[in-house]
Amino acid sequence: MKPEAAKPAPIDHKFEAVHNVTYVVGHKNPDADAICSAIAYTAFKEQQGEKGVVAARCGNSNARIDTILRRFNQPLPFYLSDVSPRVHDLMISPVVSVEDTATCAEALEMIDRHGVSVLPITNTKRKIKGTVTLGQMGSFFVPHINEPRQMRQVHTSLGRIMRSLQAKALHIVDETKLEELFVRIGAMDVGTFWKISERENLPPAQSIIIVGDRRDVQLRAIKIGIRALIISGDLPVDPDVLKLAQKHDVSVISSPHDTATTAWVVRTASTLDRVIDRNFDTVNADTPIDEVRKKFGPGSTHALLVTDEAGVLQGILTKSDLLKPVQTRLVLVDHNEMTQAVNGAEDVTITEIIDHHRLGALNTQQPILFINEPVGSTCTIVADLFRREGLIPSPEIAGIMMSGLISDTLHLNSPTTTPKDGAVLAWLSGIAGVNSRKLADDIFSSGSVILASAPDNVVRSDFKIYEEAGVRFAVSQVEELGFGNFWEHAKPIATALRDLRNEEGLAFACLLVTDINTQNSLLLVKGDAGFINRISYPHVEKEEIFDLPGIVSRKKQLIPYLGSVLREMAADGASPGNSTAPFAKSKQR
């Protein structure tokens, strides 16, 4: 009879595929072009045969975006709130572990086979019970000459001993019983071999005698009433010896190893109870790496066990894992400034940027593909990539790109519009089978952001932070059919804009309200009084709202104008907040 070997703890594969994803993501507080270009560029990558590319967003949708997605049967992109490296990005998963029913021998075998420095010990439900290391094992098995009784002691069962030895049972009694046993080698003369055991007060019923083919020692041990007799070297056992063992309920086990090896392996058959380190540190897989680094100071733990809320093992994180590169990859579309990117973007790998805005401050670890064209929308660039590669998008994806282009260029009426935008729109229209004028009417009449949203959501619905001449500021934009809705809600919107400026630590914050019908805008400003006094457009109300006739483009018209005002102030030594924002910079949301 040969007992079944203990199995390693079952492996959780939950986090294995997480490292193979590239997210295509637009800017915070996304507009239609940011969402549509993320969807379209993902489709472009997939048509090129790339795997693991996921369209993403780092802000909420709005009525216009929802209308577009419904029209062309596309799901809302995956939501990314923060891509800062977390434990699950660097931890080892699946993790090698053993259950607490394993023997020291099985734990040592796992450490040796997988080359791990820390071996987690779990129960059958993978809940953490502790850890063992090679150092702990070594300390346990080092001979203690002054404590001979302890050197002989093993806490195990006969079944575990047979498992460790890969032995066979010639006669077995209570093989699963977990008990304290003491190991002796029957190498002395039959007349003296038990005297040492008597001197050490080792009870026969808890003794295991390892012996070769010495018949006299075998019979003497059985008559004394030992717990088990282990015959080394697969040597034969006389039938009468075996019969006597059966009569006295003494187990007889045949080991394939020599006596010395058998003795050592029997000690390793001990359970892990006396070896397990039950003082261990755990961490959740979603914990930011910046927080975890603090736990790995000098003299601290070498490894952290990663568990869920129920204490179930998910992975392991060691000090050396912190040196690994983070595998999260981003493709930025419709922006290139870190102030507008998803939180944590500066700490992960940016592989590509597809954009049509001004260049901001951006550093990357490696050279990347960076496409930046002075056209009316990012969807124009993505559609042109399809054309260059000889790829035909599906009608739905063509419609998505039409929508982003129409929304960002106000159906080719924005000053940012180029002949290329018009040509691309016509090409897409033929593929989608959609009239661009009708689609534009559907998009722009899809609902008022001001009526559909709370004031604080209005000022953040299409919100971007910029830095110019050392001054941080923000410009939000909403597009409406007329200014009536704005005037009805101007006061709470002004309050929300003031709060946004304070929360984000900005010198000033603006909201550009554009009338799609008249191609004119109103500008609401909250912040530095010196800056507001320098705005040269006509005041409409309380020197905070300005009339901007013919201004519809934040990128091409308003931002350059605001930048020129800030540079003039800097030249005069009068920059808002003395060249810095008057409030402490807060974490970007």
Give residue-wise pLDDT tens across range 211-223. Answer: 999 898 899 889 9
On the question of pLDDT at 447 being above 80, the answer is no
238 close to 215: Cβ distance less than 8 angstroms: yes
On the question of pLDDT at 8 being above 70, the answer is no
Give, to the nearest 10 degrees, the angle between helix 32-47 and helix 378-388.
Answer: 20
On the question of pLDDT at 267 being above 80, the answer is yes
Confidence at 412, pLDDT banded by 50, 70, 90: very high
Phi/psi-derived region of residue 234, left when phi > 0, alpha when psi is between -120 and 50, beta in every other case: left
Residue 115 pLDDT: 87
361 close to 465: Cβ distance less than 8 angstroms: no
User: Can you give the residue ranges of every domain in the chain?
Assistant: 16-85+328-444, 450-571
382 close to 395: Cβ distance less than 8 angstroms: no
On the question of pLDDT at 16 being above 70, the answer is no
Architecture, CATH, for domain 450-571: Roll (3.10)
How far is the CA of 17 from the CAs of 21, 88, 89, 279, in angstroms? 8, 11, 11, 31
Residue 586 pLDDT: 39
Q: What tens digit of pLDDT does each residue of 74-105 get?
A: 999 999 999 999 998 899 888 889 998 888 88
pTM of the model: 0.66
Residue 175 pLDDT: 93
Comparing 16-85+328-444 with 450-571, is the CATH topology the same?
no
568 close to 557: Cβ distance less than 8 angstroms: no
Structure tokens at 34: 């940011």
Residue range 16-85+328-444 forms a domain whose CATH class is alpha beta
Residue 587 pLDDT: 38
Mean pLDDT along residues 417-443: 96
Mean pLDDT along residues 138-167: 80
Q: Which residues are 315's β-sheet partners?
A: 306
Mean pLDDT along residues 401-415: 94
Which of 306, 300, 303, 312 shows the shortest CA–CA distance to 286?
A: 306
Confidence at 236, pLDDT banded by 50, 70, 90: very high
Q: What tens digit of pLDDT does each residue of 49-59 get?
A: 999 999 999 99
Q: What tens digit of pLDDT does each residue of 521-551 get?
A: 999 999 999 999 999 999 887 668 999 999 9
Q: Which helix (H) or strand (E) holds 540?
A: strand 539-541
Mean pLDDT along residues 37-48: 98
Q: Give the CA dihedral 248, 251, 256, 261, nearest 10 degrees.
A: -100
On the question of pLDDT at 555 being above 90, the answer is no
Confidence at 133, pLDDT banded by 50, 70, 90: confident
